[in-house]
Structure 1
Amino acid sequence: MNKMVLMFSRSDVLNKKIPNDLLGVYYFLNHQDNILYIGKSVDVRKRISQHLAKGRKRLVNTFHKLKVKKLHSELESLLFESQEIKKYRPIFNRRLRRYKSHISLLTSKDPRGYHFYKLADDVNEQLLISFFSKRDAKKFILNLTQKHNLCEKINGLDKSPKSCFQYHLRNCNGACVGLEDKTKYNLRFKESFENILLYPNDCKLVFVNSKTYVIIKNNKVCEFGVEPISKWVIKYPSRDEIRIINTFKNRLGERVKQIKL
């Protein structure tokens, strides 16, 4: 068997014989080697222990063995997992997707013409970033608001009835009370929006610390890997790949080098 693929019996899993610090994508298999569930982790042993402790009982009771595909970085694992789920469509991944809650970051415009960020409780196909909790999402909006001198009230972070608290501290230009020209405000909003999302076309992105790369053509990821040791071709393209990259980039803030192709 490929040295990058490890197999563990049900007994191995229950007796915690999975090695420490194992990064990659894992597969719960039944007696017929059909894939029940696909997941990924930077620490597979720890993640499997969580499945056993508080996972879905039917999955835990049904699996016969565990397969682990060793990979080299978190982003590589995220993209590889996404492709494998699309390829095999495991039954427990489909069921969990119905209940898994994500917080989506959307944009809108108020009646006065000021653009703002808002949150929704599901993943909208048109957006490129999502969060697992409202706390993380609001923290992200706050960082954008402060970095680009936007208004906390307009972005839904300040519930004051009139001007926001930052306006009294002279940190807000008064958009909340209509004092700032909306054109100037919306230009800064546009800058903040472009800071979140990648709109690459025909380029290679390299995440410097992990040496993970992705190649994007026509605004879709077509290849990814870790230089110089792995290379994967995207066979099931969708918006998911760009969303994964943007969420990863904004969560960890890893330096990204962009190379025009």
Structure 2
Amino acid sequence: MIYTIIDVETTGQGNRMTEISIFKYDGSIVIDEFTSLINPESYIPTHITALTGIDNALVADAPTFEEVAQDILNITEDTIFVAHNVNFDYNIINGEFKRIGMEFTRKKLCTVRLSRRLIPGHRSYSLGKLCKALDINLVDRHRARGDAEATVILFGLLLQQPKADDVFKEFLNKNSRESTLPPNLPKEIFNALPSKAGIYYFKDKRGKVIYVGKAINIKKRVLSHFYSKTKKSLQMVRETRDIDFEISGSELIALLMEDAAIKHHFPIYNVSAKRSIQSYAIFSYEDRKGILHLASNKGRLVPNPILTFFNVRDVRLYLEKLCEKYNLCPKYCHLQEAVSECSHYSIKNCNGVCRDEEPIESYNNKVLEAIHDMSNQKENIILKEKGRNQNEEAFVMIKDGAYLGYGFIDKGEQINHIDDLNTFLIPQKNSVDVQKILRPVLLKI
């Protein structure tokens, strides 16, 4: 069996390659080598230069990846791709090949995961600390050739360990997840994940939650993070040491659980959840003619909203439904602006208030009826959801328009009144984010 032991250096941001070193190894000796600086055709940040010593001037006359691509294909052909944290190096190389329209597929082995299995008990499995513990001479740390050469020595030691043959066969088995999982995540933890709806927590070496996600199938969703090649995902999975989970039973409760967990833990990789949410509100006002209007604006500009939405499209669709249901005028519902009378493409049932054909009082009564209909959506509501198992049901409780939380209840329990559910309620905080989650469901009722 022939291996190619590889290390790459990158620009960091954008993960463009700046250097690559490949040692072709037959298990005993190095039989070939390819090492080259690479012109990333992008800027190398100063903090990366401080780490690697590679600056923009050094790579100015270096070949581009496209110019060395065939050399990389040739030396790695019919070999097993080996690296310390293999998914990082493999994904960088694979990404560079995709940029030039070429395919790159090799079997993989990770020396971090192999080391954890074959030489357990070390405090750290980073290349630098592991080499120090094993008395491996590591020259030019954070340069591709120095790191790759040290990895060759480490790999040779791993091949000599008791049960190495069995472990290598297991890792190379096409049904094994070993080459896909993060380098520091035990396989047993991944295998324990359920294929059910719920939320999951990525944790670092200190047990701190660094990411919270939700899924209809937890195991499948978690696995997708390991295949992702985005910079965020690559960094996140490198830091992951443990994964915990909670089953929800349904997607809606998973969304609510995820929102609460993110607000509790403030994980560093839940960037999108930290962004402020723009809301849009429907409100009413009376013009100089005494005609009641229904209009919408950004939520922060509406002191007394009738209903709140979280995108402009939903507001417009809702106003269109009101026009059709109550024979309201598209002009006075602000679905059409700067027109003397309405001429909406689909709403044709205006009774003519915009043409002085319908009495204002009659029209205003219809508007008030529509407002009453909207206000009634703030009543007490219990949303029935699928439980976490076949003997259980779940619910979401809304009282006076405010979200109170969710709960799980055995199907054998006798519930005669809404107050009976309070025993099973898991209280939660109401928020704009929760309203955004619940609004599409409530509009369907």
TM bin (shorter chain): 0.5 to 0.7
1:149 maps onto 2:318 in alignment: no
Q: What is the one-letter code of the residue matched to 1:190?
A: I
Q: Which range moved further: 164-173 or 33-42?
A: 164-173
**TM-score w.r.t. length of structure 2:** 0.43
1:106 maps onto 2:278 in alignment: no
Deviations for 1:4-54, whole angstroms, at most 9, x for unmatched residues? xxxx963689xx989796311122322322112223233443587379648
Equivalent of 1:33, from 178, 186, 207? 207
Q: What is the one-letter code of the residue matched to 1:42?
A: I
Q: List runs of 5+ in structure 1 lacking aligned partners.
A: 1-7, 256-261
Match of 1:174 in 2: 352
Match of 2:15 in 1: none
Match of 2:266 in 1: 89
Match of 1:61 in 2: 235
Contact in 1 for aligned 2:232/2:269 (Cα 8 Å) = no
SS of equivalent residue, structure 2 residue 378: coil
SS of equivalent residue, structure 2 residue 339: coil
Match of 2:365 in 1: 184
Q: Aligned residue pairs: how many?
A: 236
Match of 1:258 in 2: none
In 2, distance between residues paired with 1:125 and 1:48?
45
In 1, distance between residues paired with 2:302 and 2:272?
17
Q: List runs of 5+ in structure 2 lacking aligned partners.
A: 1-179, 388-392, 412-420
In 2, distance between residues paired with 1:19 and 1:155?
50
Match of 1:130 in 2: 309
Contact in 2 for aligned 1:9/1:66 (Cα 8 Å) = no
What does 1:209-220 align with in structure 2 at a 5 Å threshold?
211-216=393-398, 220=402
Q: What is the one-letter code of the residue matched to 2:318?
A: F
**TM-score w.r.t. length of structure 1:** 0.66
1:165 maps onto 2:343 in alignment: yes
CA 1:164–1:35: 2 relative to 1, 3 Å? same
1:78 maps onto 2:258 in alignment: no
Match of 1:10 in 2: 182
In 2, distance between residues paired with 1:86 and 1:21?
25
Percent sequence identity over matched residues? 22
Residue 171 of structure 1 and its aligned partner are, at CA, apart by 0.5
Q: What is the one-letter code of the residue matched to 1:109?
A: Y
CA 1:242–1:66: 2 relative to 1, 3 Å? same
Q: Which range moved further: 97-106 or 184-193?
A: 97-106
Q: What is the one-letter code of the residue matched to 2:182?
A: R
